[in-house]
Structures are given as structure tokens and as C-alpha cells.
Structure 1
Amino acid sequence: MSERRNVLTPEALAMMDAIARTGSFAAAARELGKVPSALTYSVRQLEDALDVLLFDRRSRQARLTAAGEELLHEGRRLLQEMDAVANRVKRVASGWETQISIAVDSILSSLTVFELCEAFYALNPPHGPGTRLRLRSEVLAGTWETLVSGVADLALGVSGEHTPPAGIKMELLGELHMVYVVAPHHPLASAPEPLTDAALVHHRAVAVADSAQRLTPITVNLLPGQDVLTVPSVGSKLEAVLRGLGGGFLPESLVREHVQVGRLVRKEVLRMNQAGRLYYAWRASPDGSAGRSRARLGLALQWWLEQLERPATRAALLQRHSGWQPGLLG
């Protein structure tokens, strides 16, 4: 048992990750600054100690066996945990996290997110407070998944369908009003209102793919048998609708200017008007004792939560999809 434990070093796990990501021993060796034969030898040592085959030798590429896939999956998790431990130790020493990861649903205002980043770095110009920011663009259940899986420290734009587990805190961000829009040259632009499901089902819908990898993906406003164009982000969905590739529900604040100048046509639909509540959530201390005081959180996460307590910041995240608004962080 001790021999198996001794071979499962961070270096060995990082080597497995590099081979899987790059697809070959040669490419992984270049990334790690080693020769391919050294990686081959290290893999064989790992296989001998674990008494398993990690790679399919019949394949010319570095194809993992089922055992190799499991080691890769668990190894990545262990590496993340090691980084998290180092981060917590650093935070205890200085109060500021080494890194903070923020998952942002693509339906929110990216302008506002980057203004918050500017304000954060301005705390100690020109380099900021020493905490690296890592932004992740996610969609629907994927935003929540990154938080509960430990990938993100803060998630913006999660739905109220999720029940927070121990160690996760959640607060209301606000309501997002959704409207159905099509391009002026789309057949539905001149159709009588309100549009029924029987009318919508014969026309392509544009949908944003849920970025969740493990949780059940969320599907919204798609009808059985309806043709669907799936895109990776809300911005891509807007572009597709503007081009007449389909119709779809989008935030009213995002399409307002397009409707005003005639680039889009807003259509009333028979189904219930879309208005969804969105929340922001964060990882509290493991025992969940941070509560509202947040005294045990890192200073960087505390700063972001303080900004999110401001009604102007929450409103801007939900509504300000274009233009600059003075006084957001004043």
C-alpha cells in the first residue's frame, strides 16, 4: 500500500494530466520539459506499482484505459484539492487568497463583471491586492456545478432550483425579464399575436447549451419535435436571432436597443411571460459557520460579496448589457 501511495505524487498526476490533454507522450514531454522516454518510463513505473494498465498500447495515440481514465479523473481532483489547501494556507497567512475563481452565467452583463474586476485591481494599483482572478463563463446548471464541485469560489447567476449543500451560501441577485424576439425578415415577425406553441413548433428555436458536465442539463422553452440551433453563449444566441436563424427568449434589457431600431421584433407569446429569479452563491468555510458575518472568508471573496450587496451592482449585472454607467461602484 505504501508503494502505491508513494508513486501517486503530484508530479505523476500532473504527468497523466499533460499526456491526456495533449494526446501524446511527445507533446506532453515538450510541455513538461522532458524527453518522451522519461515519460514512458514514469508511466510504466506507475503501472507496475498500481498493477494496472493506464494506456492502451494498441493505439498509436495516448489512449487511456478505463483504469487510466479513473486515475486521471481522481488525479485532477486531488491536484485541485492540493491547490485549494495551498490557497487556504496562504489566506490564513495574509488574509488575501492566492486565487479566486468566479463563475459567471453568460446571461449576465459582462461589462459589469469587468468593471468589478477593474475596481478590484484598483485596491492596490497597479498589481491589485495580489489575488489572481479567474473568470469562467458558464450556462444554466453549469454555473452551479462549478461552485458545488469546488472549481469556483463564487457563482453569479444561478437559478433558484438548487438547494445549497452545507458550506454553500446563496443570496438573491434579482429577477431577469425575458422576451421572445425574431429578426424582421423571420416568418414569425408578421405572424398574429400571441404566438401559440402550435405556431412556434414549426420554426427553429435558438438555444444556449447548458455547460454542466455532471449535473442534469437544464432545457428551457423547447417544444417536442422543434428544430433547434444550439449555441455556446447568450451572445451567440443573440447573433443567431439577429441573422434570422431562429427565434428565442432573451433578456429584455439585452434586446431593447435592437427592438427600438428595428433589428429585432418582439413578439407576445401565449405561454407564461418569462421572468426568472437569479442568485449568487459562494463557498463559505467548511463548517458553514461564516454565515452573514463572513469573518472567516478570504479578503478577496469578502470584497466581491460586499459589491454584490449593493442594489446598483446587482441591477447592473442583470440589466446593463451595453453602454457605460457612471457611479456603479461609487
Structure 2
Amino acid sequence: MQTARDVLTPDALSMLVTIHTQGSFAAAARSLGMVPSALTYRVRNIEDALDVLLFDRSSRQAKLTVAGAELLREGQRLLEEIDAVANRVKRVATGWEPQLTIAVDSVISRSTVMELCEAFFAMSPPTRVKLREEVLHGTLDALVTGQADLSIGVAMEMNSNSNILGEVLGTMPFIFAVAPHHPLASMPEPLSDTLIEKHRAVAVADSTQRGNALTFGLLGGQDVLTVPSMRAKLEAQLRGLGCGFLPEGLARPYLETGRLVSRTVERPSRILSISYAWRAEAGSTHGRALQWWLQQLKSPATRTALLERQQSN
């Protein structure tokens, strides 16, 4: 009888991921270029070796059991670690990383990030760049969990993790803003928390996957519209769907044209310290791609543009 080590190969784990993402055995078989019976046979071999059921076969959909979901979570982590090992080997040989993954918080200027990408690719490096949009704790979390090599826009303390290094980009002031037709636009200032909590807030969802999500500026009992990014938060507030704090650089052009109204509030002004961070691997030097990005981030002009040019995104 086959053991778990015999069946839990990278190929088998990738196959299970494909079944889950495709939603059915038939669709996964087409995607993998296999006949459905062969795919089913391979899954049963894994189930027999582990003595568990991985998929609920009571419906046409390939629905994971609790055990299957756990295997998929751990399997994806193992696949990422295998990829990381392969990347480190290639980097040792060439000095350039095969891929550099950069987590960018949604408060950071996307146009400035794209300009940096343009300058990087102008060197014709062998490194592929993958950008991930993250929010709040998810920006640092992507780095800590090994899903990113560099995180730009970290807005919280990085604790004492010796594998993570960081530098401050600068500070980002936030202002409380609403659409001119929003009820709070005509209320006497400063706006109290008691008054604000009667109106819907617009909040950006933390993108972390580890359950320790953060929120800023929300009041207890307040109705909330949750959106996936800072740009979506801006659009919601422009439409009068709610109120809340926005980065001053993002809100500025809309304040100047009257599409947003800045309101003073009783609570203290919000100014966040924004950083960037990267992984420090013991006994090895940074790849040439990461070195290039870290060098660019030392520039005061680049730091200012990343924090203040959201309006040009």
C-alpha cells in the first residue's frame, strides 16, 4: 500500500489545487489534459494513503471536506516553499531573482509604482515582477508568510521579527471627507463621534488571510460599507455612500473641484507613519532585483511620490 510520502508529491498537490479551483473533476481533467477516470483514480489513491476523504462526492461540484481543505492549505504552502527553494538556487547562480513579488498597499501611488517598473524593465533584467495589491495588515502579512519579497506601504509596527527589515517611507495625513450632498457636509463643525456614528462609514477591508485584520477610524455600532481598496473607498464617498478618512493626497483634487468636502472632527488628526519592508535571509545577500528596488526607495523624491501622488493613479 502506498504511503503519504508516496502520494503527496508536488504534482499531486498541484492536481488537488486545480480540482478545487476548477470546481469539478470533469473541468479539472480538461484543464490537466487527463481523462476524468484517471483523475478520479489518482485522487482515490491519495485518499486511501491518508485514510481520509478529500472531496464530498454527493454533488456534481468538487467540494472539499474539512480534511481536504486542510490538506489544500498546507499543500499550497509546501508548493510555495518548493518554488522559493528553486528561486533561491537560481539566484545563487545568476545574482538575479527569477521573480520578485512586491506587495503594494492600496494607499500607495500606483502610477509611481508603474514608473519604477518601467525604469526596472528598461535594464532588461531576467527577473519577472509580480505586483500584489494589499491592504493594512495584509501588506506586511504577505512578506511574513513568504508570499512577497518586498512590501511597500506598511502602516503598522513590524515587531521584532529578525527576518524582516524595514525603513520609513514617510508620513501620510488623512482627512475626514464627504460628498457635498452627504448630510454631514452641512452639519456644524467640529463633527462629534456621536454624530458621525449615526452615518454609514466606508472602510477598506484588511487583505490579511490570517484572521488578525485591522480597521481604522470606525466607531462602535456604526453602519459600514466595506470595500476592497482605497480607490474603491474614494469612489464610494464621492457617491455619498458613506463617510470616512481619506489620504490627503488622494482626496486633494476632488476637494479642489468641490466633489468632496473636508470636515473637521473632534477626534485627533490622523497621520500614519508608512514604511516599506523586505525579507532578510540569513547567510545570503539580496538578489540584484531587490537591491535595485531598495536603492530606488532610498530616494526622497521617490518616497514623496509614492505617498503623495495617489490622485494621478
Aligned equivalents of 1:24 and 1:135: distance in 2?
30
- Work out which of the residue numbers 300, 308, 312 in structure 2 matches 1:319: 308
Counterpart pick for 1:160 among 145, 156, 161? 156
Structure-to-structure mapping, 1:284-323, within 5 angstroms: 284-285=280-281, 287=282, 296-323=285-312
Equivalent residue pairs, number: 313
One-letter amino acid of the structure 2 residue matched with residue 248 of structure 1: G
Provide the residue aligned with 2:213 in structure 1.
217
1:307–1:313 CA contact under 8 A, matched in 2? yes
Contact 1:205 1:229 in 2 (8 A): yes
Q: Which residue of the partner structure matches residue 54 of structure 2? A: 54
2:78 is aligned to 78
Partner of 1:12: 12
| Aligned residue in 1 for 2:29 | 29
How do 1:103-182 and structure 2 match up within 5 A? 103-124=103-124, 129-182=125-178
Partners in 2 of 1:306 and 1:316 — Cα distance? 15
Task: Measure, in 2, the Cα distance between the counterparts of 1:4 and 1:222.
Answer: 48
Q: Is the 8 A contact 1:164 1:170 kept in 2?
A: no
**Residue identity (%):** 61
CA distance in 2, matches of 1:231, 1:71: 30
CA distance in 2 between counterparts of 1:266 and 1:153 reads 37
> Which stretches of structure 1, 4 residues or longer, exceed 6 Å deviation after superposition?
none
Displacement of 1:278 after TM fit?
1.0
Q: Deviations over 1:78-114 (max 9, x none)?
A: 1101110110011011111011110000011001010
Whether the 8 Å CA contact 1:195–1:268 is kept in 2: the answer is yes
SS at match of 1:145: helix
RMSD: 1.5
The answer to whether the 8 Å contact 2:164/2:278 transfers is yes
Larger CA deviation: 56-65 vs 190-199: 56-65
Q: Which runs of 5+ in 1 are unaligned?
A: 291-295, 325-330
Structure 2: tracts of 5 or more residues without a match: none
**Structure 2 SS opposite 1:307:** helix
Instruction: Return the offset for 1:55.
Output: 1.4
Q: How does 1:257-272 map to 2 (within 5 A)?
A: 257-272=253-268
Q: Deviations over 1:8-50 (max 9, x none)?
A: 1111000000011111111111111111111101001111222
